Chain A
Amino acid sequence: GAGVSQSPRYKVAKRGQDVALRCDPISGHVSLFWYQQALGQGPEFLTYFQNEAQLDKSGLPSDRFFAERPEGSVSTLKIQRTQQEDSAVYLCASSSGQGAYGYTFGSGTRLTVV
């Protein structure tokens, strides 16, 4: 596609509910990143894929967070047993290169846990 597409744009979850956030990167982009952006803060790194391989997941805040990219294109970020502190905008970005140079962000998914 022309850009990075994320869905849903908004998600309200009850505390304890599981959620799945989807990212469709730009076609052919090998690198894919997930970031978490709390209100009034800059994006914070969660995890990085190169094709289907998850090369870095050091930013995932707990074992309730899980990301996958099984075929090297679409990626899903799953959060189990959501808690109020998980409320944030989750941003996905993709890049054609190995690294993050000039990568393109999606519009994000705003998750609100009530």
Chain B
Amino acid sequence: GQQLNQSPQSMFIQEGEDVSMNCTSSSIFNTWLWYKQDPGEGPVLLIALYKAGELTSNGRLTAQFGITRKDSFLNISASIPSDVGIYFCAGSGGSYIPTFGRGTSLIVHP
């Protein structure tokens, strides 16, 4: 099935560093979603974006809905060990059914 292009595939960083990951699509989306998944659990919604150009924050997390409506990025500032996990982007168009990226695995070294 179709999946979005999400990069990087994995990141190894030091505690306190900032992180940036992005997602691109060949299709135009009306909604971008960012999720985090811990081992053995389902994805948990972090941020939802509904408008092109929108910039939204949730604590240390900031996400933007690209102007072209074909991309989005997620930034995490001042990373901490509990940020470890797999981050997924998801986009949806008229069908309201999100298509997910392949995920970015984040490892934070204390």
State the A residues within 8 Å of B (CB): 4, 33, 35, 40-45, 48, 56, 59, 91, 93, 98-108
Contact = CB atoms under 8 A, between A and B. Distances in A.
Contact of B99 (A4, A45, A104): A45
* Residue among A41, A42, A102, A107 with most chain B CB within 10 A: A42
Contacts of A44: 1, 3, 100
Interface of B: 1, 3-4, 6, 31, 33, 40-45, 48, 50, 88, 90, 92, 95-103
B88 A56 contact: no
B40 A107 contact: yes
B37 to A, nearest CB: 8
Contacts of A4: 42
A107 B41 contact: yes
